[in-house]
Amino acid sequence: MPNQIAVTWENDRLLFLSAVVHNSSVTFDHAEQLSSRDQLKELIQRYRLTKPEAAVVLSRADVEVRPMVFPPVPVDELPDLVKFQATKEFNSYDAAAPLDFFITNKLEHVSRSTLFPAIRSRSKKGEIEEVFSGGSPKHLLASTLRTGTLRKIQEFCGELNLTLRRVVLRPCETAYLWRHTPGFDPNRAVLVVELDTHETSQTVLFQGEPVFMRSPKISCPEDVSMSDFAARLIAELKRTRIAVRNEIQGVTVDEAVLCGVGANFESLAKQVSGGLDIPVKTFDPWQGIRCGGALQKNPPEKPERFASLIGAILQNVRNESSNIDFCNPKKRREPVGHRQLITKILAAALLMLICLTGFGFYSRTALTNEVKTLTAKLNTLKKTAGTVTEQRNQLNAIDAWLADNVDWFEQLDWLSRKMPEAQEMILTELTFSANNGGSMNLRSLLKDFSVVSPMEEQLRDAEHVIKPGEKGTGSGNPQYGFRYDLSVFLSKESADAFTKETQPQELPPEPDK
């Protein structure tokens, strides 16, 4: 059963991804694209998820992101400084809204030109000098989320009995996944591009860390290799490169990474490479990912759009902190006094001593009682050893019966959803048989034979084999003048064991009663 899920929060293009974690091994088993949150509720109920850990992935358009630069202050002071600066930097900032940030350490020797005048000054000779000394400035990206949005996410997860662990940002999770792929080069500035239905996520990674995010509105066609789409994408990528060059001095995009595989993406990569005059390569987010049987049988239609969800689940399983996490924002650590620290250490040592003493006494008593119990069980087993073979034979017979048992209520529910409406068809007889894997025999009256082919297509799937039976006219019912018989087998073996392998034959009309 899945114990890890990740979902996106867009109303019109929800993505759902679930995984099973067992002994630090992650197996992804379901990946689907939905059109509404109601469908997401139905999906979670269908898979019978029981309190899985959930990560909600937000797009760049759902949040507000601002770069900030601070003097070389201690890291513990940054949360308070970011909150103070947020009132000036963000367009609409609420003090109660969740706010998180991450330090872009790789920018210590470069500068953000839009903010750098605030931390530099000019000498008498006109040369620009650093205002502060004793370290490099702290460059970071801060992001805030509306309080109402976070409340809706928490209420939604509460209704579905989900354990909300993280509310993260899509570009950061995709960057995390890219950093853990063989194609990652920490010495290059990379522009990671993700295509979506209505927007294109563009994230610049400098030495593996996100330093610039942008999501322009570009409608993605079914065939991404179309020349007009490539031209629009190249224009937006050029704007991103110019913005990075202007805002972050010393950072130049060396190559681009296009999230997606296949002939269409290879063609698009060549067009983008020619338009930008830099290397462009494709990135398969599912490379090296273990997929379960259900996901292998039903892969998603657009697998490249699940990169951020894969990164969010892997990061949560590995217990690594996200760059931006509105569920667990960075906070200032509470100061602990010297006397309080010594008191806590002594209290912890005393508590540990008490626990060890109590555990030793409890273990000795428990082991003594266990020896007595096992001795009594051994004496009982010696007396009943003669009946073990008989009981084993009975259990084998029960297992054989259970193997042939069929959940007929579930099959009835499936049949009721696949059959035509009552205005077109009525059942006169329905017979069940558990032999050879199980089968259902149907006798019905039809208004017209035109519903037969669609009905057979609806009933035929990977778990059911359809065998048409006899059909004819003269049913004796003025509203339903045709007769049709059908056999539904619950496995191919049961169909092969069916002895009457005949084609449907026309029956002579019966006289009306």
> Stretch 110-124: mean pLDDT, rounded?
44
Any idea which of 241-250, 457-466, 485-494 has the lowest mean pLDDT? 485-494
Structure tokens at 214: 């942008």
pLDDT reading at 97 higher than 80 = yes
Phi-psi bin for 124: left (phi > 0), alpha (psi -120 to 50), beta?
A: alpha
pLDDT at residue 320, rounded to an integer: 93
The reported pLDDT for the residue numbered 256 is: 95
pLDDT at 248: 84
490 has pLDDT over 90: no
Judging by DSSP bridges, how do beta strands 64-70 and 128-130 pair with one another?
A: unpaired
User: Is pLDDT at 168 greater than 60 in this prediction?
Assistant: yes
pLDDT bin (cut points 50, 70, 90) of residue 118 is very low
Inter-residue contact 107 to 248 (CB < 8 Å): yes
What residue spans of 160-219 are helical by DSSP H? 170-179
Q: What is the pLDDT of residue 123?
A: 44
The angle at the Cα of 77, spanning 73 to 82, to the nearest 5 degrees, equals 100
pLDDT at 276: 93
In sign, the C-alpha dihedral spanning 36, 37, 41, 46 is positive
pLDDT single digits (tens) 58-78: 998 889 999 998 888 888 889
Helical (H) or strand (E) element with 470:
strand 465-473
Query: What count of Cα atoms within 13 Å lies in the side-chain half-sphere of residue 260?
Result: 25
Provide the percentage of residues in the chain whose pLDDT is more than 70: 87
- For the chain, the average pLDDT equals 83
Instruction: Give, to the nearest 10 degrees, the angle between helix 452-459 and helix 408-418.
Output: 140
Overall pTM > 0.85: no
pLDDT, tens only, 207-266: 888 999 999 988 888 788 888 899 999 999 999 999 998 888 778 898 999 999 999 999
Q: How far apart are CA 478 and CA 133, in angstroms?
A: 98
Show me where the domains of the chain are located: 408-507
According to CATH, what is the number of the domain 408-507? 3.30.1360.100
Opening angle at CA 329, ends 328 and 334, nearest 5? 100
Cα gap 248→387, rounded to integer Å: 81
What pLDDT was estimated at residue 314? 95
